[in-house]
Amino acid sequence: MDKFSTHTGIGVPLRRSNVDTDQIIPAVYLKRVTRTGFEDGLFAAWRSDETFVLNQPAYAAGSILVAGPDFGTGSSREHAVWALQNYGFRVVIGPRFGDIFRGNSGKAGLVIAGVGQDVVEKLWDLLEAAPGSELTVDLVAKTITAGADVFEFSIDDYTRHRLLEGLDDIGLTLQHADLITQFEATRPSWLPRTLPAKTAG
């Protein structure tokens, strides 16, 4: 997982509430065995609508989503986070999020920035008045900069630490790689083991 300190990118106003993970990516798009390529399924039901925000050229390259309340509720699918990341989003700003989605996001490196509904309304107005405007999200200072305005956002300390250090679950475990190796060395001979891959022919 890459370290995250600050990110500047185009803000996308998503004026909807209760966008659950089925709306972020419907189940029919979950058939890949990789974590990439899910951008095609992102907000699939709305992508055929020409007026949908991501179909407007000014927002198409957006990387900071400004969402309404209760974004990411519903099914626990990790693909919802991957679809946003695959599309190019690094940050989702919003007043309230589904718990599992928020957890999955932190683990995968997508920053979930909590703000009040009033801040969301200001950001929506600003981004709609000047489509293509950039926002800057500073994870060190926990601030969002929009033109001359600076807003604070909330994120729990542990998740912030992990994002700043670029530590995903695997990275955290691998901090104990020596202990794992020591343990594996004591593995009795009668336990099943991984066999070397067979070579062709």
Partner 1 sequence: MVCGDSHTSTHGAFGALAFGIGTSEVEHVLATQTLPQARPKTMAVTINGALPEGVTAKDVVLALIAKVGTGGGQGYVVEYRGDTIENLSMEGRMTICNMSIEWGAKAGLVAPDDTTFAYLKGRPHAPEGEDWDAAVAYWRTLFTDPDAVFDAEVTIDAATLTPFVTWGTNPGQGVPLGAAVPSPEDFADPVDRAAAERALAYMDLTAGTAMRDIRVDTVFLGSCTNGRIEDLRLAASVLKGHTIADGVRMLVVPGSARVRLQAESEGLDKVFLEFGAEWRAAGCSMCLGMNPDQLAPGERSASTSNRNFEGRQGKGGRTHLVSPPVAAATAIRGTLSSPSDL
Binding mask 54-93 for partner 1 (x = CB under 8 A): ----------------------x-x---------------
Alpha helices for the chain (secondary structure H):
21-24, 44-47, 79-87, 99-108, 117-129, 157-165, 169-174, 177-185
What values do phi and psi take at 137, rounded to 5?
A: -105, 120
DSSP state for residue 97 in the 8-state scheme: B
Is 6 a binding residue for partner 1 by CB under 8 A? The answer is: no
* From 37-45, 117-125, 157-165, 169-177, span contacting partner 1 (CB under 8 A): 169-177
Task: Give counts: helices (H), strands (E), the chain.
Answer: 8, 7
Bridge partners, residue 145, by sequence: 136, 150
Residue nearer to partner 1 on the CB measure, 34 or 51: 34
CB of residue 88 vs partner 1: minimum separation in angstroms? 21
Token pair listed for 189 = 């001979």
Number of residues that bind partner 1 (CB under 8 A): 17
Is 196 a binding residue for partner 1 by CB under 8 A? The answer is: no
Residues of this chain that interact with partner 1 (CB under 8 A) are 76, 78, 104, 107-108, 169-170, 173-174, 177, 180, 184, 188-192
